Structure 1
């Protein structure tokens, strides 16, 4: 009898691979369960899903929360496909994420919280 692999097993495996690649290539880690923070700008709030452990300036790990393209757009009041942060000071992290609305993995970008806040203040 051959072992059975479910779609959930495949998704979990792919999510683990993406997390490993993000750590290896960008020093970015997924937030584990209740370790996340609620990030709020104005009246919008999102739940942190990733954080950065890279050293951008030689002063130790960054530790900033990272937001997806959709999260950043929501906080900045941009409910469309435009780039939410046209000129980020810290380069966005290119990553593949599970898109529940489409039922597949899609390319996405993770933005540093400081860049989202900077763009918000610029628009105010």
Structure 2
């Protein structure tokens, strides 16, 4: 009798689903399905939405796109490891994400798009 084969892709997919389930349970954020994410443009840069917020911050459901540290840095024109949003209005969501550059799951933060836009406008003067 042969036992089922578990592949690395299966393990990664399972971990990604666990992270998505925990993010919904703990923070009320959802992962945008492939192809369904909005294109977020700021200045001359654009990124695709990967997560969005369905929490109630006091004014009803948020429904705002959430950006990873790397995405926020890209939109703000920062390529260093500095914190892209030093004082966000809405607390960033701490989450573990798959980083293809590192090839592992690493801690990250998801920032609300409005905080990224506010930081961009502040930098523009």
TM range (shorter): over 0.9
Alignment partners' CA distance in 1, 2:103 and 2:33 = 22
Calculate the TM-score normalised by the size of structure 2. 0.96
1:1-124 correspondence to structure 2 within 5 Å? 1-57=2-58, 59-124=59-124
SS of corresponding position for 1:45? strand
Structure 2 gap segments, 5+ residues each = none
Deviation at residue 34 of structure 1 after TM alignment: 2.1
Aligned CA RMSD, in angstroms, stands at: 0.6
SS at structure 1 position matched to 2:81: coil
How far does residue 122 in structure 1 lie from its aligned partner after superposition? Answer: 0.2
CA distance in 1, matches of 2:11, 2:65: 27
Q: Which runs of 5+ in 1 are unaligned?
A: none
After superposing on structure 2, the runs of 4+ consecutive aligned residues of structure 1 that deviate more than 4 Å are none
Secondary structure in structure 2 of the residue aligned to 1:35: coil
Measured against aligned partners, the alpha-carbon deviations of 1:65-99 in whole angstroms (never above 9, x if no partner) come to 00000000011011010000000000000000001
The TM-score normalised by the length of structure 1 is 0.97
Q: How many residues align?
A: 123
